[in-house]
A = this chain, B = another copy of it.
Amino acid sequence: MAERGNLVVGQSGGPTAVINRSVVGIVREALKHSEIDKILGACNGMQGILKEKFIDLRAVSSEDHDRMGDLSGAALGSCRFKPKEEDCEKVFEVFRKHDVRYFFYIGGNDSALAASTVNRIARDRNYELRIFHVPKTIDNDLLVTDHCPGFGSAGRYVALAFLGNDLDNQALPGIKIDIVMGRQAGWLTTTAALGAEREGHGPHLLYFPEYPKSLVQIVADVEAVYRKYGRALVAVSEGIRGPDGRELVQSDAIREEARKMVGDIFVQWLDTFGEVMKTAGVGKPDAFGHIQLSGTGILADFISMVVAAALNPKYGNKLRVRADTLGYAQRSFAGCVSKSDAREAYEVGRRAVRYAMRGDVDGSVVINRLESGDKYRVEYSLARLDDVAAGTKDVPAEFFNKDGNGITDACREYLAPLIGPLAKRVRL
């Protein structure tokens, strides 16, 4: 039997296009259960709980619940906050004070860890508290689950951005480089390839954090594509690494290469930019003393300028080389939702409440894929919080091609139902 008491739901980490649907799933299901009294939204996740800042979600109209579900962003507010043991103690105290018996925390693996810690504290104090982690991340890197709500819509955005870029680049040929989110793993970058239907369609090259690259290799790859198709579209993960395994624009190996290939001025440029970031109070030095240049447009600009400098002399200085950093739109664009992602984000919330009503359980809601392709179908189950909190999930090796610059059919098959159908291309 379920304990009578109040419910708290919170959102954590980077917003997505569908994280609000999980809130709506939780609220709509909670409204059906008489054991649940107050339905409270924590403002800005655990930070709001610590400050006892809650929103009464019963007071929100059903119409506004629908509207909230249709909006990207995190309607309750989010936080970038990894709570320490004492913070979790405090969260528990707030829960006890407010007679909270149900807690749903929507986020990535850090959120699962925070949930697990609060859970342990509650158990130690013999306080009946059911805690559920509701999965969310555009990075798709949670353990156990087949995939993560938020990833499908971000992937759909990326796939459509590259499809559009490729159609544009076919019409006005040139070399185009686009930077995709995902510092640790290439999950989101794999989705860039979904709009390519046949030989010659871009992106022609994909670079992932998993496969370190030298500038010589990148330039040679791009030139080979350009000679073959008269154009090149390249997807680059923001986590791309140099031969020494360090982030590209911070890699000493890359700097050494740049110095030799295209001149000292390129290294001066990176160093000057590092100084600017330090002056701006936004750049912190990495373990090797270089200012971290991430979160800016420098990676796109650097790769495109190196490619232009290396190739332009061979092609009469006529190459059109452009670069874009896809940016926050990947997680927040307000008009690009994958249908399966939207449905599943709602379901993981709803299922979490149903699990909570069933008995003395807690855990992280997991999506299990039963069938792929046109028959795509999933079921839901529960994993232990600690199993999800324990780490992150790598892209399987069999999803990358042998050169580490493209994806395999197995990867396409995995991604397709998550991203949803794209417009069919035409061969004139």
CB distance from A323 to the nearest CB of B (A): 7
Tell me which residues from 2 to 36 in chain A have a Cβ below 8 Å from any Cβ of chain B: 11, 14-15, 17
Partner-contacting stretch, out of A107-115, A126-134, A207-215, A328-336: A328-336
Q: Of all chain B residues, which has the CB nearest A295?
A: B322
The answer to whether A328 and B176 touch across the interface, beta carbons within 8 angstroms, is yes
Task: Say yes or no for A352: interface residue by CB 8 A criterion.
Answer: no
Closest chain-B Cβ to A427's Cβ sits at a distance in Å of: 8
Chain A positions 156 through 179: 1 when the CB is less than 8 Å from some CB of chain B, otherwise 0: 110011011111101110001000
| Docked CA distance A156–B167 (Å) | 19
Known: A265-B276, A266-B276, A276-B269. A164 touches B80 (CB 8 A): no
Query: Which residues on B sit within 8 Å (CB–CB) of A395?
Result: none
- Asked if A396 is at the interface (CB within 8 A of a chain B CB), the reply is no
Q: What is the size, in residues, of chain A's interface with B at 8 Å between Cβ atoms? A: 89
Interface residues of chain A, those whose CB is within 8 Å of chain B, are: 11, 14-15, 17, 41, 44, 55, 57, 60, 64, 67-68, 70-80, 156-157, 160-161, 163-168, 170-172, 176, 195, 262-263, 265-266, 268-269, 272-273, 275-277, 279-282, 295-298, 300-301, 304-306, 308-309, 312-313, 317, 319, 321-329, 331-336, 422-426, 428
Can you list 30 A-B contacts with CB-CB less than 8 angstroms, sorted by A residue number? A15-B167, A15-B168, A15-B171, A17-B164, A44-B171, A57-B428, A60-B428, A64-B426, A64-B428, A71-B167, A71-B425, A76-B428, A79-B172, A156-B335, A164-B328, A164-B332, A168-B331, A168-B332, A176-B328, A265-B275, A269-B275, A280-B304, A280-B305, A281-B319, A295-B322, A296-B301, A297-B323, A324-B327, A324-B328, A325-B325
